Chains A and B, each alone.
Chain A
Amino acid sequence: MSIDRVPLFCWALLATSFSVVFAIPSLTAASALLELERLYGFHFFGAQAGGDPLLWQHLFWIFGHPDVYIIFLPAVGIVGSIVPVFARHSMVAYPWVALATVLTALLGFGVWVHHMFAVGLPQVSLAFIAAASMLIAIPSGIQVFAWLATLVRGRPRIDTALLYVLGFIVVFVIGGITGVMFAAIPFDQQTTDSYFVVAHFHYVLVGGAVFPMIAGAYYWFPKITGRLLDERIGTVGFWLVFVGFNLTFFPMHIAGLMGMPRRVYTYPDDMGWGVYNLLSTIGAVVLTLGVLTIGANVALSLLRGRLAGSDPWGGNTLEWTTSSPPPAYNFAVIPVVTGRDPAWDERAREDDRRRLERGELVFPEGHETVSTTPFAGDLQGPIEMPEDSWWPLALAASLALVFVGLIASLDLLAVAGGVLVAVSLAGWQWPREAAA
């Protein structure tokens, strides 16, 4: 599968992984320095011996803003998977959406200071970051218009998965508009630390990530379990969630503009914020009912949902060509992909079946797959895949012990964890047999 044919979900995860690799070390650095300061008396952030609290804010947000996209980009991938299937039309502007996804991840590393507009940084830095923050609207706009265009050109079937995608588009665009407002520095300095910010980030994160996750659950649940989620309960749940969400978070815009600060749990009677908070509370109850409805739907459908078969939606990607749930080996023959909608490509799938009969690209012995060139997808040769092993889990558990030991100042526990880390690594890397 060449890179211009991989599903948009894979593009989204590629961009997300890129962000993870470069963003998480910043959290590691910030946490390590903080631990050294708090436990061992080093000086990095306290101003008394040459440290600077702003260094903490920088390190945290160099991680924190890319992390917003680490949360959001997989959701973009889910939406890109669902829209063409329910529109019954190939994704419009596929290359633009793929590149917009990557561009969002890249720009995400250049905007961290917009979380720090009010801490007193030089005007020049603020202006740069404001410009970069406004730029984010361009790739986001490309994606939204591409999804809408795909829906307009297709013949959409409004199932629950697509309902959540439509809800996502509405909520995310509102959150995006307030996002562009924050990029204007004077506006940000007026509304910073107010409920307007709380409203904004719930619109982008709940609208941007949670709605698509629920959509993805409705879409892939039958592939994972073999049973469909109930559509009637699903529709009721969607409207509860959509109305409840907006009722909870929209009034916060107004309360915020009226001056209600975030992170303070109470306020005086006569501020005039009461009615907006009452609406939010009612909304929270409705939203909770909606979430409970989804949970009930999952429980009911697991037990006696309609059987899905391999392809309940007429999906365009390869997972819909195998059984639900898929067999442990996924595909008996490695499919050769010649288009962007491989499951709709009858001739290519027929070729796969013929290859299976001839035993081509079939790896019956052991954990093997083919390596391909990264861009063109040309076959390079068989590669051995890792075998099943408990050692990586043991390694992760040992690492957790080390850090629990360090945080709780139980030095012995940390040392014991360190020894277990070494043992796990040794066990994992034990050479299997003598070289020929």
Chain B
Amino acid sequence: MTTIAYVDGRFPRSPAWWGMLLFITTEATLFALFLVSYFYLRFESIGPWPPNGSDPKLLVPTVMTALLMASSVPAYLADTSIRRGDVDRLRFYLASTLVLGAAFLALQAYEYHDKLRSLRPQDDAYGSLFYTITGLHGAHVIVGLVLLGWVLFWAIRGRYGAHRCVPVEISSLYWHFVHVVWLFVYLSLYLSPRL
């Protein structure tokens, strides 16, 4: 078609990749502002934090953290597999990410079920912040699972290949974000009250 001297070896990023990067930037900013609000109200408060005196339990959220960290590995491998055109591994790694993410959500539901007996979001600012921030993260996990499920569906139907891999690439990128931002939530909401 055309004879243009292109720069060698650098594959242009698709507009979708830039779009996902910007989306992640706005979501990261949103999380940062919610965590800033958490610390603002915490340092303005008088008396113990959390106000009812009991630090959040650590066992379940720590297991959740491990699951989410682990789930980033198959998400990364799904991306590298499809770049090589390996559709079988793509399906396997996507399914693995989905299972680990779903396990995270199940544990979060269990944690809510347990915690709601002693703390409701309407009780005080601490309760509001706790459920709002973890809930916002949970919503991002759900979006990630829908996204990965969608990609897995089309991967099974054979729509992806080495030269049609952008949906896998950007879903994987989003999933890494969900994982990394959870570390900040975990540090702020679960670990920092114990410091």
Contact = CB atoms under 8 A, between A and B. Distances in A.
A58 interface: yes
A26 interface: yes
Most B CB contacts (10 A, CB to CB) among A42, A49, A52 go to A42
Nearest to B160: A435
Interface residues of A, number: 49
A55 B37 contact: yes
Contact of A379 (B7, B30, B146, B159): B7
A385 B159 contact: no
Given A50-B45, A429-B150, A21 B25 contact: yes
B128 A435 contact: no
Q: What is the interface residue range for chain B against chain A?
A: 35 or more
A50 B6 contact: no
B114 interface: no
Interface string B36-69: 0100110011000001000000000000000000
A99 interface: no
A363 B2 CA distance: 8
Nearest to B22: A21
B2 A362 contact: yes
Given A55-B37, A426-B150, A435 B158 contact: yes
Given A362-B2, A429-B150, A436-B161, A29 B30 contact: yes
Contacts of A380: 6-7, 10-12
Contact of B128 (A22, A36, A381): A36
B26 A52 contact: no
Contacts of B124: 43, 49-50
B29 A25 contact: yes
Interface string A307-340: 0000000000000000000000000000000000
A386 B160 CA distance: 18
A378 interface: yes
Interface string A13-29: 00000000110111011
Contact of B33 (A29, A40, A379): A29
Interface string A22-54: 101110110011001100111110000111100
A385 B15 contact: yes
Interface in B98-124: 121-124
A379 B41 contact: no
Nearest to A371: B12
B125 interface: yes
A385 B22 CA distance: 18
Given A42-B121, A381-B11, A435 B37 contact: no
B33 A62 contact: yes
Interface in B12-37: 12-15, 22, 25-27, 29-30, 33-34, 37
A431 interface: yes
A281 B125 CA distance: 47
A36 B135 CA distance: 12
B154 interface: yes
Contact of B125 (A21, A24, A43): A43
Closest 3 CB pairs of A and B: A50-B125, A371-B12, A435-B161
8 contacts: A42-B128, A43-B122, A43-B124, A50-B41, A52-B44, A379-B4, A383-B12, A435-B160
Interface of A: 21-22, 24-26, 28-29, 32-33, 36-37, 40-44, 49-52, 55, 58-59, 62, 358-363, 365, 370-371, 373, 378-381, 383-386, 422, 426, 429, 431, 434-436
